[in-house]
Amino acid sequence: MRLAFLLLFFAVGAARSQPNVVLILADDLGWADTTLYGHTSFYKTPNLERLARRGMTFTRAYSASPLCSPTRSAVLTGLSPARTGITTPSCHLPQVVLEATPGSKAAPGSKAVQPKTVTRLKTDFPTLTKALKAAGYATAHFGKWHLGAEPYSPLEHGFDVDIPHHSGPGPAGSYVAPWKFKDFDPDPDVPDQHIEDRMAQEAVQWMEKVKDGPFFMNYWMFSVHAPFDAKKALIEKYRTAVDPTNPQRSPTYAAMVESMDDAVGTLLDAIDRFGLADNTIVIFSSDNGGNMYNEIDGTTPTSNAPLRGGKATMFEGGVRVPQIIAWPGVTQPGSRSDVLTQSEDFFPTLLEGLGLAAANGQVFDGVSILPTLRGESQDHPPTFTYFPHAPGVPDWLPEAVAVHEGEWKLIRLFHQGESGAHRYLLFDLANDLGEKTNLAAKMPEKVQALDALIETFLDNTHAVRPLPNPAFDPAQYHPEREGIAAPKHTAKPKGGKTADVGDPALKGWKIRNGKAVVKDGIVTVTSASPDPFLGVAAGVTGPATAVFRVKSAQGGKGRVEWIPSGGKAVTVPCEIPPGDWTDLTVTIPAEGPLGIFRLHLPEQALPIQLDRVELTGPQQSRRWDF
């Protein structure tokens, strides 16, 4: 009995001596969006600099994907999105898809058919959370998840706590109160409360309860993803500092970056206050590169210069991210490393550093970078980015996979060459960080060697690859449009004159066969003739979901409709319930850009009121608050 007691005593003592782990993942924060690398003078991130002084800053850190959900799955599993099958952020869609499958069709102007993505992180994967929980760690998830609602939420993946238990792609409503999370209301005594202020506050309260440790805090920020809003006082502060010649010139985005950085400071303050600084590992990174294809304050949200491209692209701006690891007793305070790293490395690194064993039969696509953290020499193996999709954003590429080996980067574009062969982009990042010069034609042997690495990677991960498009029509193929954002067309009536752009208060929407009046942020629609509808240029690629916050005393049958460029209208029926405000969700089973998007309203139910509209696809999301 005494022996059993001593064994239990020493086991508990060993568990408590294990370092705590705080993993912070920002959303859409670009490599040039922090003051860590000397490429911004507009944004302010003093708390990230404070964290950097405690640990090691990585100059060549990469996300697993240029989009969020694939990277999130890689962080938790240590596996490439090519292996998990989660290759787009589609985990909020109602369809549950657990295995990737080859695609069945594509537009005739496309050379490749994209595979169908997985929409939930399966709970049978060995995850970082489960490994730490089995080792005696208390576990909690705060903030964005976007890997599936119950039964695929954080609570089914090993977390004891999940706040705010939200499975959507972004903050519900606004960053600034009042937001619209279910069962998670703002503090009534805190005006203009920012969601990251509240998330950090919740995280600190939990930390205080479990500070005798060990604990694993997974804080995945909502910031700085769309929708673009921030505290008004901060926006005005940055508005006075805008340099119109600087590509980073959105005061709203700068304010969002500051609130993100403030949350990091709140966590560091609590770690210090609780006396945990010498026994807490803090990891900070981002899920993908900065967002350069939305618009706010009359400009793009940010610029990733000197990198090319941004979120949703395979260029450096889409995948190179800020990263800091502060590991007391392991990392040299204030150190920097140019060793190649990727999101898949966190899991194996923590296992090795904490002395924990992997699960039986567990494989990793990442590697432990513990030698690098210790300041030792380490040659990281090549890293791979699998993104078999082609979102029509600036600098977009067709379906692709990339390899980084040392300073070399090769992008394979599936079936984009002659007669279905692959096409390649080769860059020497040591001398061409902006990826301006494609060396593929001049260096065929280098292309062949790097492409052999890609082929081995695809085989090892059992990746479901894009296929040649059997319906490809050369007459509809436009290679000159590659890398160019789809233009926003303005409708022209007969006679060639530009049509009216409608009421500016409608935020780009136009009313037909009816009348729409905006007052106090609410659109009231009344009928003028049969089939009244609201329409807008969607700017989103399917499959997608549309959410309308709507109020109708009578209710009735309506429909949503989308008209792809050069295609026929496709409709999905919907039922608007009678009574008070409700969120009406409609699934849009489209493949490719939606084109024109319309909401047809039941004429007999008018007037109908609209509060907001959200349109969310795998790569893009748009929100209209009237």
Q: What digits encode the pLDDT tens for the residues 324-354?
A: 999 999 999 999 999 999 999 999 999 999 9
Q: Which of 465-469, 537-541, 589-593 has the highest mean pLDDT?
A: 465-469
The predicted model gives 87-105 an average pLDDT of 93
Report, as an integer, the average pLDDT of 125-130.
97
Distances (CA, A) of 187 to 197, 198, 232, 430: 11, 8, 18, 49
Q: How far is CA 267 from the centre of its chain?
A: 22
pLDDT of residue 4: 45
Higher pLDDT, 552 or 488: 552
Percent of the chain as helix, strand, coil, to the nearest 5? 25, 25, 50
Q: Report the alpha-carbon distance of residue 507 to residue 374 in Å, rounded.
A: 53
Q: Which residues of 109-125 are buried (b: 16+ CB within 10 A; e: fewer)?
A: bbbbbbbbbbbbbbeeb
Q: Of the ranges 240-244, 456-460, 566-570, which one carries the lowest mean pLDDT score?
A: 566-570
What's the pLDDT at 192? 85
The pLDDT of residue 499: 38
pLDDT tier, 510 (very low <50, low <70, confident <90, very high otherwise)? confident
- Asked if residue 236 has pLDDT above 50, the reply is yes
- Going by pLDDT thresholds of 50, 70 and 90, the confidence category of residue 315 is very high
Provide the pLDDT confidence category of residue 291 given band limits of 50, 70 and 90.
very high
**SS3 for 116-178, per residue?**
ECCCCCCCCCCCHHHHHHHCCCEEEEEECCCCCCCCCCHHHCCCCEEECCCCCCCCCCCCECC
Contacts of 567 (CB under 8 A, 6+ apart): 595
Q: Which helix (H) or strand (E) holds 70?
A: helix 68-77
Give the separation between CA 319 and CA 287, rounded to whole angstroms: 8
**Separation of alpha carbons 189 and 183, rounded Å:** 17
Q: What is the largest CA-CA distance in the chain?
A: 96
Task: Yes or no: say if 132 and 104 are a contact pair by the CB < 8 Å rule.
Answer: no
Query: In 3D, which of 58, 60, 25 has the Cα closest to residue 335?
Result: 58
Mean pLDDT for the stretch of residues 61-86: 98
pLDDT digits (tens, 9 = 90+) for 213-227: 899 999 999 999 998
Mean pLDDT to the nearest integer, 221-249: 94
413 token code pair: 């574009």
Distance, CA of 485 to chain centre: 19
Strand order in the sheet with 556-563: 510-512, 533-537, 596-600, 556-563, 570-576
What angle in degrees, to the nearest 10, is found between the helix axes of 195-210 and 251-273?
A: 10
Q: Average pLDDT of 17-30?
A: 96
At residue 502 the predicted structure's pLDDT band, cuts being 50, 70 and 90, is low
Q: 152-166, 410-424, 432-446, 579-593 — which is least confidently predicted? A: 579-593
Residue 528's pLDDT is 59
> Of 291, 205, 202, whose CA–CA distance to 250 is shortest?
291
* The predicted structure's pLDDT at residue 584: 86
User: Could you give phi then psi for residue 213, rounded to 5 degrees?
Assistant: 60, -175
Q: Grade residue 566 by pLDDT with cuts at 50, 70 and 90.
A: low
DSSP state at residue 249: -
Contact present, 130 and 157 (Cβ < 8 Å): yes
Sign of CA dihedral 96, 99, 104, 109: positive
CA distance 532 to 102: 40
Residue spans per domain, the chain: 19-382, 387-481, 504-625
Would you state the pLDDT for residue 500? 39
Overall average pLDDT of the 494-513 stretch: 63
CB-side exposure of 570: number of CA atoms within 13 Å?
Answer: 17
Q: Average pLDDT in the 110-127 region? A: 96
CA 355, 356, 358 angle in degrees (round to 5)?
Answer: 135
What is the structure's pLDDT at 10? Answer: 39
In this structure, are residues 544 and 575 in contact, taking their beta carbons and an 8 Å threshold? no
Cα(486)–Cα(478) distance, integer angstroms: 12
| Residues 602-611, mean pLDDT to the nearest whole number | 78
Q: Which of 27, 31, 48 is nearest to 341 (CA)?
A: 31
Dihedral, CA atoms, 593, 596, 602, 607, nearest 10 degrees?
Answer: 120
127: left (phi over 0), alpha (psi -120 to 50) or beta: beta
Per-residue pLDDT at 243 exceeds 50: yes
Segment 372-393, tens digit of pLDDT: 999 999 999 999 999 999 988 8
Instruction: Check whether 603 has a pLDDT greater than 80.
Output: no
Average pLDDT over residues 410-438: 97
Domain 504-625 CATH (choose: 2.60.40.1120, 3.30.1640.10, 1.10.10.10, 2.60.120.260)? 2.60.120.260
Alpha helices in 211-321, H assignment, sequence order: 232-239, 251-273, 316-319
SS3 state of residue 263: helix
12-16, 25-29, 44-48: segment of lowest average pLDDT:
12-16
| Cβ(281)–Cβ(352) below 8 Å | no
pLDDT for residue 472: 94
Going by pLDDT thresholds of 50, 70 and 90, the confidence category of residue 497 is: very low
**pLDDT at res. 9:** 38
Cα torsion 290, 177, 541, 516 to 10°: value is: -130
Q: Evaluate whether the domain defined by 19-382 bears CATH number 3.10.310.10.
A: no
Residue 332 CB contacts under 8 Å (≥ 6 apart), including other chains: 56, 375
- The reported pLDDT for the residue numbered 604 is 63
**CATH match of 387-481 with 3.30.590.20:** no
DSSP H helices, 320-443, are 346-354, 370-373
Axis crossing angle, helix 251-273 with helix 232-239, rounded to the nearest 10 = 120
| pLDDT, mean over the chain | 90
Per residue in 441-494, pLDDT (tens digit) is: 999 999 999 999 999 999 999 999 999 999 999 998 988 889 887 655 444 444
pLDDT given at position 594: 84
427 contacts 447 by C-beta, under 8 angstroms: no
Half-sphere exposure of 568 (CA within 13 A, CB side): 2
* 136-179 confidence digits (pLDDT tens): 999 999 999 999 999 999 999 999 999 999 998 888 778 999 88
